[in-house]
């Protein structure tokens, strides 16, 4: 099925958990969906043909990183990131806001100008305005573009959070104007407000006034407890439009994702499957497995005996431990691929259970399984 415009269809609901489809000219996305993170134009250690085999339908690219390297000129040469990295399915890009806080030699936020910072690579001063962020994301040829927001570090200071909403709302408006009227792409707003219900509802309502193709919850998964994150979702997702996709940024473990799906969230991204993979940590239906543990030295069983992606069912825990101990990059490659496969399998199970109205049973079984 080939479409020309971005759209979202809500197919079914099991309590608050939602089953849907995002349609884009580059392919459809079944929701709830998990987006592997390809920060620098690659999902670390995974070939794109294997990524497709995991069932991945959309990946995330980081505007901040791609702006610094390879830069807009190179991206324009390739007409965007898809051709550059050999990934022709949809790409969502963040706006750069989060990385400016977390990675750069941060300088300052100027509501009128934008975020002013120094590159973490060479110290060069860069100004990222809401308009510039959209322009860069257009150079990336991103299918789902995020507005530039101010994402404060975890705080309970209402003044800081309120001010971030003020700045973010202003930037969201300017992002919308810069984005224009390209129906083949989507523009998502990002709500702030920390863990305060009143602030978050205020932020959501201001974004709805501007009108976006989807809405993200920002400023969560920044260090707060899982129970607090799920509580604020519980208190506020009902204020989001039912007919638009909802995206919780930077989340999380399979249990975190499950908890947020239970509150009505449709989209997720996280570095966890690949980052854990590089440290020898595997997610499986038997729980989290630390492959460095000596008990796996003679374990001839694979992580998942049914997984034929990349021949993963041919590699034993014993072999994976050997690769880790030997500092072989194949360890990161295989375990990252396994974890991505597991995450996508977990999302398929979530979707199946929503469809069958059995989500409650699945939820109870796995809500704390991966903590």
Contact set with a copy of itself (CB under 8 A): 40-42, 44-49, 69-70, 73-74, 77-78, 84-86, 297-298, 300, 310-311, 314-316, 318-319, 322-323, 325-326, 328-330, 332-333
Closest approach of a copy of itself to the CB of residue 313, in Å: 10
Decide whether 49 or 209 has the Cβ nearer to a copy of itself. 49
Nearer CB in complex with a copy of itself: 60/258: 60
Q: 209 and 189 in contact (C-beta within 8 Å)?
A: no
User: Tokens for 245?
Assistant: 């996709």
CB-count burial class (<10 Å; 0-12, 13-18, 19+) for 322 = middle
Q: How far is the CB of 278 from a copy of itself (least distance, A)?
A: 9
CB-count burial class (<10 Å; 0-12, 13-18, 19+) for 119: middle
Distance CA 91, CA 26 (A): 9
- Catalytic residue (choose from 14, 94, 143, 256): 94
Pure H helices in the chain: 48-53, 63-68, 72-77, 81-85, 97-102, 130-140, 158-179, 197-210, 226-236, 254-261, 272-278, 317-325, 329-355, 359-366
In the complex, least distance from residue 292 CB atom to a copy of itself, rounded to whole angstroms: 14
Q: Please identify, using beta-carbon distances, which residue of 240 and 333 lies nearer to a copy of itself.
A: 333
198 is catalytic: no
- Closest CB to a copy of itself among residues 140, 354: 140
Annotated active-site residue in 14, 149, 266, 269: 269
Distance of CA 368 to the CA centre of its chain: 21
CB of 68 to a copy of itself, least distance (A): 10
Mark whether 94 is an active-site residue.
Answer: yes
User: Would you name the residues annotated as active-site residues?
Assistant: 94, 269
């Amino acid at each position: 099925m080939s479409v020309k415009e971005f759209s979202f269809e809500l197919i079914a609901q099991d309590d608050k958990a939602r089953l849907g489809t995002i349609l884009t000219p580059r392919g459809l996305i079944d929701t709830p969906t998990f987006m592997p993170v390809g920060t620098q134009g690659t999902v670390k250690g995974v070939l794109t043909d294997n990524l497709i085999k995991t069932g991945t339908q959309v990946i995330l690219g980081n505007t901040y990183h791609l702006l610094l390297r390879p830069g807009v000129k190179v991206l324009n040469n390739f007409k965007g990131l898809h051709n550059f990295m050999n990934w022709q399915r949809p790409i969502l890009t963040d706006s750069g806001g989060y990385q400016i806080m977390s990675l750069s030699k941060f300088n300052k936020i100027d509501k009128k100008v934008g975020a002013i910072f120094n590159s973490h690579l060479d110290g060069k001063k860069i100004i990222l305005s809401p308009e510039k962020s959209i322009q860069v994301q257009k150079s990336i040829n991103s299918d789902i573009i995020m507005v530039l927001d101010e994402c404060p570090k975890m705080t309970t200071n209402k003044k800081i959070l309120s001010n971030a909403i003020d700045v973010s709302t202003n930037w969201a408006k300017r992002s919308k104007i810069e984005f224009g009227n390209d129906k083949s792409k989507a523009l998502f707003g990002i709500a702030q407000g920390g863990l305060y219900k009143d602030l978050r509802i205020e932020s959501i309502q201001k974004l709805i006034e501007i009108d976006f193709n989807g809405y993200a919850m920002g400023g969560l998964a920044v260090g707060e407890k899982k129970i607090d994150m799920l509580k604020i979702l519980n208190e506020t997702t009902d204020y989001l439009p039912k007919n638009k996709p909802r995206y919780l940024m930077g989340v999380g473990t399979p249990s975190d994702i499950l908890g947020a799906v239970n509150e009505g969230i449709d989209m997720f991204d996280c570095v966890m499957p690949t980052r854990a993979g590089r440290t020898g940590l595997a997610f499986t239906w038997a729980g989290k497995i630390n492959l460095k543990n000596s008990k796996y030295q003679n374990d001839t069983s694979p992580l998942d005996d049914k997984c034929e992606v990349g021949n993963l069912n041919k590699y034993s825990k014993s072999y994976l431990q050997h690769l880790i101990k030997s500092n072989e990059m194949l360890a990161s490659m295989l375990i990252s691929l396994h974890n991505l496969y597991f995450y996508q399998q977990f999302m398929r199970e979530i979707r199946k259970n929503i469809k069958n109205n059995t989500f409650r049973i699945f939820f109870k079984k796995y809500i704390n399984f991966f903590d």
